[in-house]
Amino acid sequence: MTKLGTFYGIGVGPGDPDLLTVKAIKAIKNVDVIIAPKTEKKDGSVALEIARPYLKADVEIIYQVFPMVKDFAESPEIFISNKEEIIKILQAKKNVAFLTLGDPMFYSTYIYIFKLLSEEKINIETIPGVPAFLAIASRIGQPIAFGNEILSIIPATADLNKIDEILDKADTSVLMKVYKNFDQIVDTLENHNMAWQAKLVSRCGLPDEKIISDISDHKDDQLNYLSTIITRKSID
């Protein structure tokens, strides 16, 4: 079999280009092709803009559209055709970097592509990135967990009863994807007495970053997709 190019899944962190790892920068500078994922609604790719300072002048950039689906089964054909496009590039012996926001293995579109490519005989290297919730903890100066504390990470798109159960048990909670049902999430946090000490950060590390401390007063805000809440049971 002829040798194929290598496929890199690269985490570019949440926004600040200074938060890319040295390994991520080396790989970005070395590849022939960059895959920049984007959703149908948006013109550009946030991940690409974060990585832009490190791109080679002659690198080929390919935008791949991924739908905002709840799970792969909803729309597998788009993922499969993106996978096939990547395989063709690898067959041309080119190295490819698939950029991903935050960490690639953490609630990421990359996971679907990674699983599909793992079924083929392809050399895959995944390079971790700083996940948004950890960058946010440092940004707002709030430790995420210490001692025996239990941390929960909750996609706000999950079942609300399940979210209630988890909030009951965890000391600190990170709520991701809060843009769709923010008002419901604020109500739920108020019921757990966890709203007053919550912090919401939108577009952490990007030029239009926003930090909100009084989330109950912002229940009706239209949030950006890149919004995360960190809260805890008590502040000691």
First to last CA, the chain: 61
**Is 225 a binder of ligand SAM (CB under 6 A)?**
yes
What is the contact mask toward ligand SAM in residues 120 to 159, using x (rule: CB under 6 A)?
A: -----------xx---------------------------
Residue among 27, 204, 215, 230 that touches ligand SAM (CB under 6 A) = 204
Round to whole Å and give the CA distance between 197 and 103.
26
Residues 13-42 interacting with ligand SAM (rule: CB under 6 A): 14-15
* Phi and psi torsions of 38, nearest 5°: -150, 160
Judged by DSSP in three states, 129 sits in coil
| 125 contacts 30 by C-beta, under 8 angstroms | no
**Is 177 a binder of ligand SAM (CB under 6 A)?**
yes
33 vs 204 by CB, closer to ligand SAM: 204
Give the shortest CB-187-to-ligand SAM separation in angstroms. 18
The radius of gyration computed from the CA coordinates of the chain, to the nearest angstrom, equals 19
187 vs 209 by CB, closer to ligand SAM: 209
List of residues 6+ apart from 116 with CB closer than 8 A: 79, 80, 83
Give the shortest CB-57-to-ligand SAM separation in angstroms. 27
Residues 88-107 interacting with ligand SAM (rule: CB under 6 A): 101-103, 106-107
Taking residue 54's Cβ as centre, other Cβ atoms within 10 Å add up to: 17
Interacting residues with ligand SAM (CB under 6 A) = 14-15, 101-103, 106-108, 131-132, 176-177, 201-206, 225-228
